[in-house]
Amino acid sequence: MYTEKVIAEFTNPEYVGEIADADGVGEVENPGCGDIMRISLKVEGDRIVDARFKTFGCAAAIASSSMATRMIRGMTLSEAWNLSNADVVDALGGLPEPKVHCSLLARGAIRAAINDYRTRRGLPPLEAGPAGCCEGTKPDNG
Ligand code: FES
């Protein structure tokens, strides 16, 4: 049912936890199942130098958040904002169709963390939109 990469990220997540002095923190909840994902970021310039997650949820949500934090480390805020759930699913080698929606939590948490980062600096939050839309929306290097 799950790929080896999904099982590896679920059973041995490398970046689980929380950054004590995070520059931005985002938390989202899937209203359907109640699963919660929290991602914290450390930013230098416009680049993410550390990303950690805490996920109360299913195996697919945990694997997605683990892979997403792995992927956005080293990305610019713009690149991380534009990371799609399809990018995360591809990096995991796929998810069973009924579990693809779980990967949307990771994108939502990343965008919420970026908007928290922006708000802390007096910048307006970007329109994150409902899950599944807003591909291509870019932050203005805030
Ligand atoms: Fe809730 Fe996967 S079932 S996020």
Check pocket membership of 71 for ligand 1, CB cut-off 6 A.
Answer: no
Q: Does domain 4-139 have CATH number 3.90.1010.10?
A: yes
- C-beta separation of 52 from 75 below 8 A: no
Of the candidates 1, 6, 12, 17, the residue with the CA atom closest to the CA atom of residue 92: 6
135 compared with 48, residue with greater pLDDT: 48
The pLDDT value given to residue 135: 34
73-99 pLDDT per residue, tens: 999 999 999 999 999 999 999 999 999
Pocket test residue of 101, 103, 104 for ligand 1, highest count of atoms within 8 A of CB = 101
Instruction: Please name which of 51, 40, 38 lies closest in space to residue 120, comparing C-alpha atoms.
Output: 40
In terms of pLDDT, which residue wins out, 40 or 33?
40
Q: Over 70: is that where the pLDDT of 133 sits?
A: no
Of ligand 1's listed atoms, the one at least distance from the Cα of 105 is 4
**Above 60 in pLDDT, residue 139?**
no
- Mean pLDDT for 52-69 is 96
Instruction: Look at residue 130 and tell me whether its pLDDT is greater than 90.
Output: no
Where does the pLDDT of residue 134 fall: very low under 50, low under 70, confident under 90, or very high at 90 and above?
very low
Q: For residue 117, is pLDDT > 80?
A: yes
- The rounded Å distance from CA 43 to ligand 1 centre is 28
Look at ligand 1, atom 2, and give the residue with the nearest C-alpha. Answer: 102
Q: How far apart are CA 50 and CA 70, in angstroms?
A: 9
Mean pLDDT (the chain, rounded): 90
Q: Is pLDDT of 110 > 70?
A: yes
pLDDT of 140: 35
pTM of the model as a whole = 0.89
